Structure 1
């Protein structure tokens, strides 16, 4: 029997609302906003002449291949933007899921039941890690892709109603190319998420109450204390290094696409907003080039150590106060 696989399935079924329905409802909201925007634009243009009063059919006849290329780039940006919005919701889901993953079992004493089963603490904790850094992002990505296809259908129908053939624009986009490129970012995201997953699971296993405060306030107080030590002229860490390379990675590393910060966040966002090199940004040579960054490996080792500590704590600590 594949015990580990069943453990991961257990995590999914117990947290289906966060893993599945959260990205679904975010996607539905985004598509609804898009549809309402199109309807509002139609109502507005019916009352106010735009484009010099030129009919859409004549505009369509004047469109050249370059216009369709730009439209295809816009669709690429829409795909990535839709996935990015889902990443925001996924971050909050995973943050609180990991904080409660071990703490909740102790709080309601269900840990006693799970310990009575022939399942090791290592398998239990690792199943929670796998669910958080692999399963949940994969589900969100699939939902984002389905939502993007629905967006293409909405845009295509709108274009056809105005006498514009949407196929050249869709053909000029890189839907399949972006699909497998974005899919290949999930393993790197999982590796970068290890420090945060380990940190949150550690406090979930250690804290007798309010793991959120422990997980957030300890790094904050460490940063403040380091600043005081530095102001007194004593040896201390560089404040920017401590904030960006330690605290930020401990608290925000589970945000998919965190590696974009190492590629030069401002440059990437600027190019993304212009629609430049959207596909190239997510090329595996760029994405997995991040593995040459020592900080990623150091963070992964630290994350594994924290996960090991969480496993040990789960073996020895089952009591908690409410």
Structure 2
């Protein structure tokens, strides 16, 4: 479990069982079975069922869910500390390596007859070049191919110290997937020195109406080897888009999956001025803030019978909160942090 998740859980449970100085619980937790929502109107109960069905239909692909749930997650700084050869911001030393089906343009400055355009790399990683024949270029950078051709020409006594330039004109050997809340999700060829924002741009940009605050890169380490494994690199998407977190703009690699999850929501129903669903995007939000976001209580709201319906470890729980004890008595420390998919229910007062 990540440190941030553990800290959030500790804070949540500290709040849930806090008790006010004047006696009586500000926050009380029960299960749905032990705390039925008997005082809710039929319309609110129906809305609850509607929300549950809508959440079930929003589930992402089960295969992707399994990978994300069973794979170790790294923050960007942690990943870069383990892989200093891949720099997040300062570029220059992370070169594209050529592979099968890439297309190269090759220039030998001392001999124009040796220049070649649209040289396709074979599926097994070779090219044919005048005077030196078939040479393997797979897994070499363009600068390494330049040196290799120069050395081969010298070895064959054709040109000594030839100056060679190699450019990739078509990238076909490596692929990435861009999935989730993007305008044009799908598969794309990996370009040289391509970063997260480059891939986002090629996929049409982020769908800001749907995207959440995070992004993920599912990366295959040691592909094709006995030690092959997948890892997940978590990205502060909103920070990256707003220029606050350029370290997350890391280089992409072959077989990377860039996934932009849709925004996580909380729901609020009952005696509230603007009931509905609200995204959790930039920051954590407390119960009192959530109520304010939805316009505040109506005049007939049972403020101190406010409930949060939350699912934890497959168990549906009811968190009952005396909101006035938090706002009027200055007990902000006991305010409850809203979690994704929480349903806030404000019943009607009978007095």
Task: Assess same fold via TM > 0.5.
Answer: no
Q: TM-score under structure 2 normalisation?
A: 0.21
Q: Which has the higher helix share?
A: 1
Q: TM-score under structure 1 normalisation?
A: 0.23
| Higher radius of gyration, 1 or 2 | 2
